Amino acid sequence: MDFMSLFLSVKRPPAAPPRESDEGGTVVLERKLQKTRPPKMYQVVMLNDDYTPMEFVVVVIQEFFGKDRAAATRIMLDIHQDGKGVCGVYPRDIAATKVEQVLEAARAAGHPLQCVSEPLQ
């Protein structure tokens, strides 16, 4: 077999589909459809009770929700007044972890502090 016959008989990958182009030979690139969506978000809500010390709640909010002392105190007082309040908003797994951390800290300290996560939208 001569070289050209051999070359033509070699299997090659299928040709790419023709690209769209206009009459002038300009390649038109189409933007790919957006396939990703931002994650559904969950708010971590803390509930008031009559027994958990205010100071404990403030420290928990600082520790697990990254608030400074002033912001944590405001959130704690809102919860104390309104019965519940939002400590932060996160993707589902992170919100679930925050709830676990708060409940474990409360359990370890012997306080009845409760905390839940709620979907937004």
Instruction: Rank residues 90 and 102 by Cβ distance to ligand TYC and give the closer one.
Output: 102
| CA torsion through residues 55, 57, 60, 62, sign | negative
Choosing from 41, 73, 80, 116, the residue that interacts with ligand TYC (CB under 6 A) is: 80
Q: Residue 79, interface with ligand TYC (CB under 6 A)?
A: yes
Residue 61, number of CB atoms within 10 A of its CB: 25
Which 8-state DSSP code applies to residue 110? T
Q: Residue 95, interface with ligand TYC (CB under 6 A)?
A: no
Question: Coil, strand or helix: which one is 49?
Answer: coil
Identify residues 35-74 at the interface with ligand TYC (CB under 6 A): 46-50, 52-54, 57
Which amino acid makes up residue 36? Answer: T
CB of 54 to ligand TYC, least distance (A): 5
Residue among 59, 71, 65 nearest 88 (CA): 65
Q: Which residues bind ligand TYC (CB under 6 A)?
A: 46-50, 52-54, 57, 76, 79-80, 113
